[in-house]
Chain A
């Protein structure tokens, strides 16, 4: 991640402001920036969305295919994640630069959706042990400010 250079006095100003719940741009500490959500943007997917928050833009596409359930859990479907930090976002993601961050985000998504409370995986089952729905979720980080992502 790129570092921003600030002087001592600027640092003090920012810290004092946060103490009074006032960021430099006038937001409170818990306020979000302007967010835009658009759905059904990619026509050849079963579902897609584009979210813009501040300088970060993320495009997500979901494709559903029929596959064989995992041998350990025969009555549940599963999700496959792939996060691509594209070089459009920042020059640091050029070539294989964005791979590390991409795998880290994919692993986080796996952990988030791997429990019963986020998604009922049993609803993805068609016939136990033989067929189930596999949801392939592809995430594309299309723009960010010097490698900082505001959307998790």
Chain B
């Protein structure tokens, strides 16, 4: 059993390639944004002696007369239409509480899930009693944000066959600000695994299902052993995601795929080492820049 040990080295900060499309206006808490009193203050700011100061670390956004600071590291602030991956924390009367890395637990109402067999009927008392058979504490689901309550809690729904209970796979928990907003968050990667990039920072990696199950809708979870090759692909993707997150690279299907391809020369477990991580992320960023230009 070989153990790899090394002395700590001074980390060289990676040279950031500054894109020509304008430098971002980054502030830290306490930084004065402007002394002009004509602006309205939005989220993340406060007034200190007639000066507008930032209260969070992030990027300044100016919309006409409104100034707000969007924090770089924050809990998930959901909007209608976001795809999330969440874990059931409680089973209550007619609804489930779901943990989605937001300030409050999200809510999944019984009326917002698809019943087995795709029936459309009124939920009866019996449905309430069998809620636990469908989703119980600890289960993972993929869902969409239906609405936002006045206190900020999200109301989710799984009213589509692509949402529902998740089966075998790996969950990676990252910061929500690293996930890029795209048209679709469900991808079947060509390397042999599938990925769900939840807007809340939870990324779900799972083996691509052999045949598209139309009837399932997330009710039946297969407990068949996953093949070793699929497992290695999923482990490699997981390590690539952690490497990209450690270097604050925006995550979307292309960046994850490029990182996967750049990592093929190393063993899966080596990707966790800091120097290998840096090398892979630099290659990925180069490829992304080439693709953009």
Contact = CB atoms under 8 A, between A and B. Distances in A.
Contact of B226 (A5, A16, A52): A16
A98 B8 CA distance: 28
Interface stretch (A35-43, A82-90, A101-109, A134-142): A35-43
A149 B272 CA distance: 19
Interface in A116-135: none
Contacts of A28: 269
A20 B272 contact: no
Contact of A22 (B6, B223, B235): B235
A22 B171 CA distance: 16
Given A32-B3, A36-B7, A36-B8, A27 B166 contact: no
Contacts of B232: 22, 26
Contacts of B226: 13, 16
Contacts of A10: 140, 168-171
Given A5-B87, A10-B140, A26-B268, A37 B7 contact: yes
B176 to A, nearest CB: 20
A38 B231 CA distance: 35
B228 A30 contact: no
Interface in B1-36: 1, 3-8
Give the interface centre of A13, A32, A52 by most chain B CB atoms within 10 Å.
A13
B7 A38 contact: yes
The majority secondary structure among interface residues of chain A is loop
Given A16-B226, A34-B274, A26 B236 contact: yes
Nearest to A26: B268
B238 A24 contact: yes
A115 interface: no
Nearest to A12: B223
Contact of B235 (A7, A8, A26, A33): A26
A54 B219 CA distance: 36
A26 B269 contact: yes
A5 to B, nearest CB: 5
Nearest to B277: A34
Contacts of A12: 168, 223
B139 to A, nearest CB: 5
A20 B169 contact: no
Contacts of B137: 5
B281 to A, nearest CB: 16
Interface centre among A27, A34, A37 (most CB of B within 10 A): A34
B4 A36 contact: no
Interface in A1-60: 5-10, 12-13, 16-17, 20, 22-28, 30-38, 52
A38 B8 contact: yes
A65 to B, nearest CB: 29
B158 to A, nearest CB: 15
Nearest to B207: A13
Contacts of A25: 235, 238-239, 268-269, 272
Interface string B159-182: 000000011111100000000000
B138 interface: yes
Contacts of A52: 8
A32 B4 contact: yes
A9 B7 contact: no
B221 interface: yes
Interface in B265-282: 267-269, 271-274
18 contacts: A5-B89, A8-B139, A9-B221, A10-B169, A12-B168, A12-B223, A13-B169, A13-B226, A16-B226, A17-B231, A22-B232, A24-B238, A25-B238, A25-B272, A26-B235, A27-B269, A34-B4, A35-B4
Given A5-B137, A13-B169, A17-B231, 5 more contacts: A10-B169, A22-B228, A34-B273, A35-B6, A36-B6
Q: Which 8 pairs from chain A and chain B are nearest by CB?
A: A26-B268, A26-B235, A13-B168, A27-B269, A16-B225, A9-B167, A5-B138, A26-B269
